[in-house]
Amino acid sequence: MASWTITALDTGASVIEKSVLTYLHDVGTKIKIVRIMFYLEGPQRIIVDTSVGDAEQGLRLLGEATLRTPEQEPLAALRAAGIDPERVDVVINTHLHWDHCGNNHLFPNARVLAQRDEIRYAIAPGDFFARGYFAPTCGAQPAYWGTRFEPVDGDIEVADGVRIIKVPGHTPGSQAVLVQTSAGVYAIAGDAIFLYENADKLIPPGYHWRIDESMDAMRRILGSSDHLLPSHDYRVFERGSPARYP
Ligand SMILES: [Zn+2]
């Protein structure tokens, strides 16, 4: 089986209420979260999640300011890591919340994979979720607008050594990415697991579609992998920025 490397790019931050991440824990506490774009290199070049695009709309609809240095602008972060977006073969959106699919347009030659259930839900989500999707139902322009998706139904092998597993719970069509490396299988969890703390203490994401399925999703991801890469945890960058795995 092919062996892959993973590069995590820091593409900015926001400061938000912590219980949005850790359900009913640390209510009233603020936490600074990172917006990560992952790059996988092996027989193909793959991007997992494309971070915040329209930061102004995020501030207006959700009150979440995006804090970004010039080096953290997605294109600058890609170039600094030696990644040519034109040569990316595949983009995987773990789900379609605004902060995970805002720069799909930077990869003009890539297939873009999202779960069919997620694409359908994102157009007319539950009212409580509408702003998180920048949904047309709240008068917004979705962050993924203009993307020609390749819909995925369930689990698939994307390439030799890279697998998508469907893990609904945070959203109806959330998916995680399992990556074979020389040090075992890494799981890129998306918002199924926001922080290492969610996994360590089995705390579901505070912001979720179905809580029981969120718990099943966490267990499935942890049971399918040797190492975890959560979506918004600065500990991913403890080894440096960009952070390279394994
Ligand atoms: Zn999300």
Give the CATH number, domain containing residue 66.
Answer: 3.60.15.10
Q: Give first-to-last CA distance, the chain, whole Å.
A: 16
Dist. CA 172–CA 117, nearest whole Å: 6
Beta bridge mates, 180: 185
Q: How far is the CA of 94 from the centre of ligand 1 (A)?
A: 9
Given a contact cutoff of 8 angstroms between Cβ atoms, the answer to whether 199 and 190 are in contact is no
Q: 22 is in which domain, residue-wise?
A: 5-237
Q: How far is the CA of 238 from the centre of ligand 1 (A)?
A: 23
245 within some domain: no
244 within some domain: no
Given a contact cutoff of 8 angstroms between Cβ atoms, the answer to whether 211 and 204 are in contact is yes
Q: How far is the CA of 1 from the centre of ligand 1 (A)?
A: 31
Q: How far is the CA of 191 from the centre of ligand 1 (A)?
A: 5
Closest residue by Cα to residue 191 from 219, 159, 217, 157: 217
Measured CA angle at 146 (ends 158, 103), to 5 deg: 65
Looking at every residue in the chain, the average pLDDT score rounds to 97
246 within some domain: no
Q: How far is the CA of 95 from the centre of ligand 1 (A)?
A: 7
Q: pTM for the whole thing? A: 0.97
Q: How far is the CA of 240 from the centre of ligand 1 (A)?
A: 25
pLDDT in tens, 134-167: 999 999 999 999 999 999 999 999 999 999 999 9
21 within some domain: yes
pLDDT in tens, 165-222: 999 999 999 999 999 999 999 999 999 999 999 999 999 999 999 999 999 999 999 9
243 within some domain: no
